[in-house]
Structure 1
């Protein structure tokens, strides 16, 4: 396992981990935007999704499905947003890859259409 001493995701407590496989762990976000908001984090310190090996990427995909099943069972969300910030220009502030899995619930936003497009609010409404 590759770690960086100042990286908060390299210093996770075992008690914070809710699921894992050989390459990645899952934790609940400490600043959740929704009930069950989770982060999939590689055990190897890499900054970007694009630095994963094919084996790591496939393991991430598998753990994403496991995480969804756990969240479906525990919280019964109506949908999901799944996102990754890659690079400072995209809003990445912790430079250890982490994939956000944000459960969505009916009524959690007045009009959820546009989903992740709200990163650019002026471009989010495309259907008018």
Structure 2
């Protein structure tokens, strides 16, 4: 995929917009978001315009994953964090606001202002768990050749 001139992350990649960059190579750029949620919060972004995980190829996924792990380790070394969230959202329902794939690496501190965001309880009744796993298994196996 090519760059999208309307995409704010593509503009950071091509230098027409500025950002506080922590790392860059040919495939990935790491920079602070406009409003970091915590000390050390950064975005890991492919340099190629990829709108979401469904558009991600294996080569780009590997590059993003490798740098996400390296960034998580760097955050642990650089800051006295108590935990870490790695967040990757796709689609408006999942709160994606910039439609260029990105991974939030968010250091967590016991006194930070991030509210718990995981629901209490299960959205899948116990009686449906085997059926749900089976539906996913069929589609995961069918898509193995897509990589």
The reply on whether 1:17 has 2:12 as its aligned counterpart is no
The reply on whether 1:125 has 2:116 as its aligned counterpart is no
Q: 1:109 to 1:31 in 2, by over 3 A?
A: closer
> Does the CA contact (< 8 Å) of 2:23 and 2:31 recur in 1?
yes
CA distance in 2, matches of 1:30, 1:109: 17
1:84 pairs with 81, 88, 111, which one?
Answer: 88
TM-score normalised by length of structure 1? 0.80
Count of matched residue positions in the alignment of Structure 1 and Structure 2: 118
Backbone CA RMSD of aligned residues: 2.3
Match of 1:96 in 2: 100
Match of 1:33 in 2: 37
Could you list the structure 1 runs, at least 4 aligned residues long, displaced by more than 4 angstroms after superposition. Answer: none
Structure with greater Cα Rg: 2
For residues 30-56 of structure 1, give each alpha carbon's deviation from its aligned partner in whole angstroms, at most 9, with x where no partner exists: 111111111011111111022111111
> Does the CA contact (< 8 Å) of 2:3 and 2:10 recur in 1?
yes
Q: 1:109 to 1:30 in 2, by over 3 A?
A: closer
> Does the CA contact (< 8 Å) of 2:19 and 2:32 recur in 1?
no
> Does the CA contact (< 8 Å) of 1:2 and 1:43 recur in 2?
no
Deviation (angstroms), 1:60 = 1.1
CA distance in 2, matches of 1:53, 1:62: 14
* Structure 2, gaps ≥5 residues long: 122-147
Which secondary structure state, in structure 2, belongs to the residue aligned with residue 26 of structure 1?
Answer: strand
> Does the CA contact (< 8 Å) of 1:82 and 1:99 recur in 2?
yes
TM-score normalised by length of structure 2? 0.70
* Structure 1, gaps ≥5 residues long: 118-123
For residues 49-85 of structure 1, give each alpha carbon's deviation from its aligned partner in whole angstroms, at most 9, with x where no partner exists: 2211111111111101111122112212111111111
